Amino acid sequence: MARVYNFSAGPAMMPTAVMERAQAEMLDWHGTGMSIMEVSHRGKDYTAVAKKAEADLRQLMAIPDNYKVLFLQGGASLQFAMIPLNLANEGDTVDYFNTGVWSEKAIKEASRFCQVNVVASHSSAIPEMSEWKLSPDAQYVHYTPNETIGGLEFQQIPDVGDKVLVADMSSTILSRPIDVSRFGVIYAGAQKNIGPAGLTIVIIRDDLLGKARVGTPTMLNYQSAADNDSMYNTPATYPWYMAGLVFEWLLDKGGLSAMAIINERKAQKLYAAIDQSNGFYANPVKPSDRSWMNVPFTLKDAALDATFLAETAAAGLTSLKGHKIVGGMRASIYNAMPEAGVDALVAFMHDFAQRHG
């Protein structure tokens, strides 16, 4: 079978060019007679791979020099604990926006370690600034720029004054340029826009290091990772290598400004297909707050869901089933999804609506 257009929310489609390169050097990396998977993380070959990946990510995101880039494990879910353990003490107040399922998970875990103040809650629109209830004494303000399940996205970085801003960028990182200097900490699980599952990237302003509370496990202290170039112990070497290949691919494509143009256009095409379907398809999110990366939509008649999924799969458009919490469909259209994939889905949706509308 040829490569399909895979709309999985994560682990997600990888660029085919990246997969082909990884395949070609699988058993013999750069003439060494070994896979990069098989070499010591402390050897010169792997160290070069690791440093190159970091340098390329720094270039892609224009990360200022006073930020450390960490390549960790455990996913965003482990960050939900690491953020409060590293940035606040027991009893401290921390501010969280609640814009959906992933915000709620972050809030639930942080509540085990701090006093959480919910700044504002909405699941189908980004809360207006007039509704925000920021705490005067919060140690940081946390938000989820893109909700993978709900499909809503902050189009602007929230202005929280001089507070430390923390963002779970798992499903939006690398989709467009962002001003890293506005953030205290950015974290992201790799399995959407970065690379394979099992890698977590943390970008942290260096003055926030060294503040972990007493009793924080060494592996959960950002300082341990920062002091050891993310090699306090053996990192997830192969996912890190794959992420490096993705970063190179993004630079070749023109970087994040170029990706943003494509990503916005891909999203607009898909939302237009939904909005112009005379109600056959629907998306509940306020149009100005819709995600560029995750497009959930429902069919007017849920009885057609199974047919839609079977026919799209047969047409090489896979993994469109929506998250069980919201039902319906979800098309995740990360950087690796070619515009041709979105075009094929839009054409299918139009045809399906014609046949069943």
Binding site for its own copies (CB under 8 A): 1-4, 6, 8-14, 16, 19-20, 22-23, 26-28, 31-35, 37-41, 43, 73-78, 80-82, 85, 109, 112-113, 189, 191, 196-199, 215, 217-220, 232-239, 242, 316, 318-319
For the bound state, the minimum distance from the C-beta of residue 35 to its own copies, rounded and expressed in Å, comes to 6
Listed in order, strand segments (DSSP E) in 303-350 are 317-318, 329-332
* 81 versus 120: smaller Cβ distance to its own copies: 81
Measured CA to CA, the distance from residue 266 to residue 54 in angstroms comes to: 28
* 58 versus 323: smaller Cβ distance to its own copies: 323
In terms of phi and psi (left: phi > 0; alpha: psi -120 to 50; beta: otherwise), the region of 286 is: beta
For the bound state, the minimum distance from the C-beta of residue 280 to its own copies, rounded and expressed in Å, comes to 26
Measured CA to CA, the distance from residue 259 to residue 64 in angstroms comes to: 21
Exactly one of 29, 68, 102, 266 is catalytic; which is it? 102
Question: Is residue 192 among the annotated active site residues?
Answer: yes
Q: Count Cβ neighbours within 10 Å for each residue of 43-80 and write b for 16 or more, e otherwise.
A: eeebeebbeebbebbbebbebeeebbbbbbbbbbbbbb
Q: Which of 290, 10, 266, 259 is nearest to 154 (CA)?
A: 290
For the bound state, the minimum distance from the C-beta of residue 131 to its own copies, rounded and expressed in Å, comes to 29
Question: Is residue 52 among the annotated active site residues?
Answer: no
Cis peptide before 338 (omega within 30 of 0): no
Exactly one of 68, 163, 192, 321 is catalytic; which is it? 192
- Counting every residue written for the chain, the total comes to 357
Q: Which of 347, 338, 327 is nearest to 272 (CA)?
A: 347
User: Does residue 198 contact residue 80 with C-beta atoms inside 8 Å?
Assistant: no
* 126 versus 342: smaller Cβ distance to its own copies: 342
What is the number of other CB atoms lying within 10 angstroms of the CB of residue 324? 7
Question: Is residue 29 among the annotated active site residues?
Answer: no
For the bound state, the minimum distance from the C-beta of residue 61 to its own copies, rounded and expressed in Å, comes to 22
As given in the structure block, the two tokens for residue 298 are: 């429902």
Q: For residue 232, what are the contacts with CB-CB under 8 A and spacing of at least 6?
A: 218, 219, 224, 225
In degrees, rounded to 5, the angle at the alpha carbon of residue 321 between the alpha carbons of residues 352 and 330 is 80
Distances (CA, A) of 189 to 5, 48, 200, 226, 349: 22, 23, 4, 18, 30
Q: Which of 200, 180, 171 is nearest to 63 (CA)?
A: 180
* 74 versus 357: smaller Cβ distance to its own copies: 74
Exactly one of 168, 266, 289, 321 is catalytic; which is it? 168
For the bound state, the minimum distance from the C-beta of residue 84 to its own copies, rounded and expressed in Å, comes to 9
For the bound state, the minimum distance from the C-beta of residue 215 to its own copies, rounded and expressed in Å, comes to 7
* 216 versus 277: smaller Cβ distance to its own copies: 216
For the bound state, the minimum distance from the C-beta of residue 257 to its own copies, rounded and expressed in Å, comes to 26
Measured CA to CA, the distance from residue 14 to residue 37 in angstroms comes to: 18
Catalytic residue numbers read 102, 168, 192
